[in-house]
Amino acid sequence: MRAAVFTTPGEVEVAEVPDPAPAADEVVIDVAAVGICGTDLHILDGDFNSTLPIVPGHEFAGVVMAVGSEVSTLTVGDRVGVDPSHICGRCRPCRRGRTNLCEVAGGYGTTWNGGAAEFAAIRERHCVRLPDSIETGAATLIEPLSCAIRGYDVARASIGDRALIYGAGTMGLMMLQLAKLTGLAEVHVVDISTDRLVAATELGCTSTATSADDLPHRSWDLVIDASGSAAAIQDGIPRVERGGTYLQFGVPPSATQVVIEPYRIYHEEITVTGSMATLNSYARAVDLFATGAIDPSFFISDRFPLAEYPAALEAVRAGAGRKVQVLP
């Protein structure tokens, strides 16, 4: 079969690799589509805990085409989304229920071969059968949606709060969509791209600007960084209202540093927190997606064939569109 392979930092190729065969507890899926996100760029750039070479792709879905001898809940022909996270179940965070913080955490497309391939072997327990209302290719959006749900689990937003989101890429827009479901009174969005701000306006945000200085408020109950930009993070933390929360949701480079004011955090009871991947949120994302809470036709803006996977990566790096998909 053909697959995209990150061979060494900065190098990606589309190559022939062996067809997967299912282990006893695995199924092999015919991959319908795989999404590309910023984490894939971090892996390619060597700024992640991945060992190369690896087949990337942690946002994917497909149709079961073979099952292992111990598989009992799936059959050939089932359409499934893939919850990519691997955990050990033994370390202290896992035993305390914080499996997204597993000390040896990995996942399909990050530490195990992922979905940027014609076929993928996946453990049965990582597959979630899709309801009829979800188109198989569109199900690549379930994984990022599950990350957004986890973000709001951590942020604990209250009805009537007003929020500021930095970044109107796919994840920022999903956070905007979910904000309306959590009862936030106002949601303002900042991005340096006017095209992305148009998308945020289409989704019903309260106001947009290329600088938070141009928004109608000086502080917000909830400030979310969905950009990973050091400049946005530095600008956002001081804009948290007294008693409010700052959520680091975007993924900055690991060496990023910003200046904070510890006295203000103490004196004004500011919560500074982060949201890492997913925690008991993938199945909820399936259910929410099935209700139409996320419109795939809005979020999926670009599609590339597998042979053009390197070009798809560069499109994401350049900030093109919203969600870029590859169709194996």
- The reply to whether 19 falls in a domain is yes
Examine the pLDDT at 49 and tell me if it is beyond 80: no
- The reply to whether 213 falls in a domain is yes
pLDDT classification of 156: cutoffs 50, 70, 90? confident
- Which residues are CB-contacts of 237 (< 8 A; sequence separation ≥ 6)? 223, 246, 258, 260, 272
The answer to whether residues 65 and 174 belong to one domain is no
- The reply to whether 186 falls in a domain is yes
Our count of domains for the chain comes to 2
pLDDT classification of 249: cutoffs 50, 70, 90? very high
pLDDT classification of 277: cutoffs 50, 70, 90? very high
Domain of 33 in residue numbering reads as: 2-133+292-326
The answer to whether residues 249 and 302 belong to one domain is no
Average pLDDT over residues 239-249: 98
Q: pTM for this structure?
A: 0.94
Examine the pLDDT at 66 and tell me if it is beyond 90: yes
- The reply to whether 280 falls in a domain is no
The answer to whether residues 23 and 126 belong to one domain is yes
pLDDT digits (tens, 9 = 90+) for 216-242: 999 999 999 999 999 999 999 999 999
The answer to whether residues 244 and 300 belong to one domain is no
Mean pLDDT, the chain, rounded, equals: 95
Residue 254 is predicted with a pLDDT of 83
Q: Which of 61, 54, 53, 240 is nearest to 144 (CA)?
A: 61
Examine the pLDDT at 18 and tell me if it is beyond 90: yes
Examine the pLDDT at 50 and tell me if it is beyond 90: no
Q: Which of 60, 55, 72, 71 is nearest to 17 (CA)?
A: 55
The answer to whether residues 236 and 116 belong to one domain is no
The answer to whether residues 162 and 108 belong to one domain is no
- Strand, coil or helix: what is 288? helix
Backbone conformation region of residue 12, classed left if phi is above 0, alpha if psi is from -120 to 50, else beta: beta
Residue 320 is predicted with a pLDDT of 79
